[in-house]
Amino acid sequence: MRKKIVAGNWKMNKNLEEGHQLTSEVVNMVKDEVTSDVQVVLCTPFVHLNSISKLLAGSKNVMLGAQNCSEHASGAYTGETSVSMLKSVGTQFVIIGHSERREYFGETDALFAKKVDAVLAAGMTPIYCCGEKLEVREANDHIKLVTAQVSEALFHLSADALQKVVIAYEPVWAIGTGKTASSAQAQEMHAEIRAHLAGKYGKNVAEEITIQYGGSVKPDNAVEIFAQPDVDGGLIGGASLKSRDFVDIVKAMK
């Protein structure tokens, strides 16, 4: 049975004190209010990881994630952070391929494939992001683009390795815009991704892959989105910065 995972991507928000407060609130709320077996991941800025790891040490199902990593193991790469560094401070998940890395930093699917390999080799879980811009969807090329993103970054993996990857479908036009894909649109793309995986690896493998939805998920739309049969959780942006909103989204994941 595939895992249900809700991850919060803080992006470049929260100073250390604010991050500690948010983490403590989320941990306490999850402990008191979340009775399902959903896994919760906090993807914090790099400078927070070490200290927040300590805050999560006693938490049963709140885990630590990073927002990016280098594809290099070590060396003269000023400003970069390796997977061994992330692993050494307790990181368990790493976001790879977020649309903002594609848009602002020119990162490519070929690079993401190397980063996915690095994360897996370190024994952590990559959350691989894919998704289309508005003009691609309006041209009805969204399925072609997203399945190509999946192929180029993940299809070099063995079936065993693929099953250690989480995929996050994030329509770029719905990230931070207040627009949200309808539950039917989300289900359509998640089903297409799963079918694409099945075409390469077989149905049994595809059924084990967790596919999250991301894109302006809020407490008032999370229940409907998460109710879709191929939606296995969420990668939450803005709403993850408010503990009440984020935990209410987690609670929507049955």
- The CATH number assigned to the domain holding 121 equals 3.20.20.70
User: Three-state SS for 219?
Assistant: helix
Per-residue pLDDT of the chain (254 residues; tens, 9 = 90+): 899 999 999 999 999 999 999 999 999 999 999 988 999 999 999 999 999 999 999 898 999 999 999 999 999 999 999 999 999 999 999 999 999 999 999 999 999 999 999 999 999 999 999 999 999 999 999 999 999 999 999 999 999 999 999 999 999 988 777 777 899 999 999 999 999 999 999 999 999 999 999 988 999 999 999 999 999 999 999 999 999 999 999 999 98
- pLDDT reported for residue 60: 87
Element (H, E) at 130: strand 125-130
Catalytic residue among 100, 107, 132, 170: 170
Separation CA 52–CA 95 (nearest Å): 17
Domain count, the chain: 1
How far lies 123's CA from each of 10, 49, 88, 145, 174, in Å? 23, 17, 11, 29, 31
- pLDDT reported for residue 178: 74
Q: Is there a catalytic annotation at residue 170?
A: yes
Is 11 flagged in the annotation as binding?
yes
Is 216 flagged in the annotation as binding?
yes
Is 178 flagged in the annotation as binding?
no
Strand locations in 19-152, DSSP E?
Answer: 39-44, 62-66, 93-96, 125-130
This model's pTM is above 0.85? yes
User: Three-state SS for 82?
Assistant: coil
Q: Is there a catalytic annotation at residue 135?
A: no
Is 238 flagged in the annotation as binding?
yes
How many other CB atoms are found less than 10 A from the CB of residue 183? 17
Token code pair at residue 136: 């691609």
- pLDDT reported for residue 216: 85
Is 243 flagged in the annotation as binding?
no
Token code pair at residue 208: 């084990």
The boundaries of the domain holding residue 167 are 5-252
Token code pair at residue 254: 């049955």
Catalytic residue among 48, 98, 142, 190: 98
Token code pair at residue 251: 């609670």
